[in-house]
Amino acid sequence: MTTVSTKPYLLRAIWEWCVDQGFTPYLATLVDENTRVPPGYARDGQIVLNLSPDATGQMQMANDFISFQARFGGAAHSLVIPVANVIAIYARENGQGMAFEPELEAVEGEAEADEEQVGDAVQDIADTTIELRRERSAEPEPPARPPRGSHLKVVK
């Protein structure tokens, strides 16, 4: 009997917590051939997305994929993110959330990333955050990346 990963359940729980607290949930993910995001928005094979209800439409967080509609440069796009590619979900405002080891289907025998490498990847992604918004607000932007020493927890 195969057990379903806890990862999609944790993603949904942290997303719901962020929304309930009035925070903006950000999702950091790797981009590969199974990921559908608008061309030109990923950097170094990674992207950070705003998953707030105001920035997304028709969002579904299934056990294998996260799909939703979002606007990039004023144009609507359908996005599909494999849950296996998600490396973090956190609140933009305070950096609280969770980091995950990427579930890469890479060459067998490849060593797993350690916590420091995953933390560095999350920090790099946060530095290149792409915020999806339907309308720009006049409020000043808080920092998009989680603060150093943030509360992200690496789950193996």
pLDDT in tens, 22-48: 999 999 999 999 999 998 899 999 999
7-134 CATH pick, 2.30.30.220, 3.40.50.970, 2.60.40.10, 3.60.10.10: 2.30.30.220
For 110-143, write each residue's pLDDT tens digit.
344 444 544 555 455 444 333 333 333 434 454 4
Give the three-class secondary structure for 146: coil
The domain locations on the chain are 7-134
Element (H, E) at 17: helix 7-21
8 Å CB contact between 98 and 14: yes
Residue of 40, 82, 86 whose CA lies nearest to 64? 82
Question: What pLDDT does residue 32 have?
Answer: 93
Query: Does the pTM exceed 0.95?
Result: no
**Residue 59 pLDDT greater than 80, yes or no:** yes
Question: What pLDDT does residue 112 have?
Answer: 44
> What percentage of the chain has pLDDT greater than the value 70?
66
**Residue 94 pLDDT greater than 70, yes or no:** yes
Looking at residues 75-80, what average pLDDT do you find? 94
Element (H, E) at 12: helix 7-21
Cα 123 to chain center, whole Å? 12
With tokens 């990333």, the residue in question is 113
8 Å CB contact between 99 and 118: yes
Cα 147 to chain center, whole Å? 16
For the chain, the straight-line distance linking the first and the last C-alpha, in angstroms and rounded, comes to 21
Question: What pLDDT does residue 101 have?
Answer: 87
Question: What pLDDT does residue 104 have?
Answer: 63
Considering only residues 106 and 146, tell me which one the structure prediction assigns the higher pLDDT: 146
